[in-house]
Amino acid sequence: MIDMQMVFRWFGENDDHIPLSNIKQIPGVTGIVWALHDQAPGDKWPLDKIQAVKTEADNYGFNIDVVESVNIHEDIKLGLPSREQYIENYKATIKDLASVGVKVICYNFMPVFDWIRTDLFGEVGDGSTALFYEKAKIDAMKPEELVANFLSNDEFSLPGWEPERLGQLAELFEAYQNVSEEKLWDNLHYFLEQVIPVAEENGIKMAIHPDDPPWPIFGLPRIITNQDNIRRFLNLVDSPSNGLTFCSGSLGANPENDLISIVKEFGERIPFAHIRNLKHFSNGDFIESSHKASDGSVDIVGIVKAFHEIGFTGYTRPDHGRHIWDEVCRPGYGLYDRALGIMYLWGIWDSLSEKVKVN
């Protein structure tokens, strides 16, 4: 049986303190998931910088098949006339990424904010820390307070929210006042109609990431949140190049989402999977946990089994991990716990493959 392809997200040695030589020592990892993090949303990525990443990965025998993310400019999400140039830049970037062998582009369509947490280093209870979401705090917090809280950390900050961008926050919220969920759907549809044909022509699969968490934040609309919405999204442009990044953590933040059903219904349109665990609390809070199924609320074993049963051969990565053994790391992206997560996922997968072999 052909296996899934295990990859590992890498922000660059200087940015997340993890050299590729360390990743090379994790069994079964064949590629890095990467991006040009110094490029602003809407920029065309410079080909020389793309090629530099490929050269660096080649030195360790890694592929660069998966990019996460080519971020989408807010003007595209808002449906402004200026979106046309940003969409053209996006198309050009798709072509250049295809020229170096990229197969999958992960992206999201979340207004203003990417993933949201209230504490980057929440206490797990065993001496480790992890990303934590406190519902009451989010409900009472102003968005600029959240950003300022992250920016106050000297070493790490909320991705994409440099101090100069804080000044744009009020303007962005005002711009979204007239953007309903349906308007956001329309703007996403327009974007897909423009870029999916280019992706098809260049052998690229676009894979949208679900909203994290999968519900409206600060009054902003969010639309990639559940099975019905995923089905609607995939039908907007019915193409193999229009796909989903399955994320057990993002979708699993809502206990009502049936993650196994999502894998089974949309498996053919899932080129990329993020598998991670989290623990729900009755008040709506959640904290990210180890990948071990019993440590959290997500049926990790059932999810891997569902992927195995559909013959999944796409790309998989352990998603966020805890911060363990006093590691200094980017919040959610330590080397150690994600490496442990990979071995846990391989253990489940191999046990299922062995049963197939024996039977």
Q: Which of 73, 75, 106, 209 is catalytic?
A: 209
Selected residue with higher pLDDT from 98 and 354 = 98
Indicate the length of the chain as a whole number: 359
Q: What is the CA radius of gyration of the chain?
A: 19
Q: What is the mean pLDDT of the chain?
A: 91
Amino acid at site 138: I
Query: Among residues of the chain, what percentage have pLDDT more than 90?
Result: 78
- In this predicted structure, the answer to whether residue 171 has a pLDDT above a threshold of 70 is yes
Q: Which of 247, 308, 336, 344 is catalytic?
A: 247
* 247 flagged as catalytic: yes
Q: Which of 73, 274, 291, 323 is catalytic?
A: 274
* 329 flagged as catalytic: no
* 333 flagged as catalytic: yes
pLDDT band at 163 (very low <50, low <70, confident <90, very high): low
pLDDT band at 156 (very low <50, low <70, confident <90, very high): very low
Q: Which of 1-5, 111-115, 220-224, 338-342 has the lowest mean pLDDT?
A: 1-5
Q: Which of 96, 211, 319, 337 is catalytic?
A: 319
Q: Which of 176, 320, 336, 344 is catalytic?
A: 320
Q: Is 77 helix (H, G, I), strand (E, B) or coil?
A: helix
Is the whole-model pTM more than 0.85?
yes
Q: Which of 86, 90, 176, 333 is catalytic?
A: 333
Residue spans of the domains in the chain: they are 5-358
Phi, psi (deg, nearest 5) at residue 106: -90, 140
Question: Quick one: tokens of 8?
Answer: 């590992």
Q: Which residues contact 52 (CB under 8 A, 6 or more apart)?
A: none
Question: Quick one: tokens of 77?
Answer: 């999400």
Query: Among residues of the chain, what percentage have pLDDT more than 70?
Result: 92
Asked if residue 176 lies in contact with residue 112, where contact means CB atoms within 8 angstroms, the answer is yes
pLDDT band at 157 (very low <50, low <70, confident <90, very high): very low
> CATH: 3.40.50.10540, 3.20.20.150, 3.40.50.300, 2.60.40.10. Which one for 5-358?
3.20.20.150
User: Distance between CA 129 and CA 144 in Å, rounded?
Assistant: 24
Alpha helices in the chain (DSSP H): 13-16, 20-23, 47-58, 74-78, 83-99, 135-140, 143-151, 163-166, 169-175, 181-201, 227-236, 248-252, 259-266, 300-309, 335-358
* 190 flagged as catalytic: no
pLDDT computed for residue 24 by the predictor? 97
- In this predicted structure, the answer to whether residue 200 has a pLDDT above a threshold of 50 is yes
Q: Is the dihedral angle over the CA atoms 164, 170, 173, 177 positive or is it negative? A: negative
Q: Print burial letters for 162-171: b (CB count within 10 Å at least 16), e (below 16).
A: eeeeeeebee
